[in-house]
Homo-oligomer: A and B are copies of this chain.
């Protein structure tokens, strides 16, 4: 019967070396991180859910769903815009926001490579 060998290092040297040498695709990760940061806020996540139930919504309607000042909502919409996951269209005095579904789909697919 073989005696159980006690490991004297946590992993094989080759694995340790390979992990230590890992280089990341920084540009791709920066994009992904921008979207993730846009998602990772209670208000913005709720805005996205709001938009998912409608073709598009006017800013004043979005405002009405929250107990937050108008500049705050405008700030969040800007972050969502800059992350590329919502679109904004001006019609007269009003601005209409909608999900950028293709970009969202790309983003979710990007996460799936982790699985």
Q: What residues make up the interface of A, taking CB atoms closer than 8 Å to B?
A: 7, 10-11, 15-16, 19-20, 22, 24, 29, 32-33, 36-37, 39-42, 45-46, 48-50, 52, 54, 57-58, 60-62, 64-65, 92-94, 96, 99, 101, 104-105, 108, 111-115
- Among B15, B20, B115, the residue within 8 A (CB) of A104 is B115
- Among B15, B58, B112, B114, the residue within 8 A (CB) of A49 is B114
B19 near A50 (CB under 8 angstroms)?
yes
A7 near B92 (CB under 8 angstroms)?
yes
| CA distance in complex: A7, B40 (Å) | 35
- Among B22, B37, B52, the residue within 8 A (CB) of A114 is B52
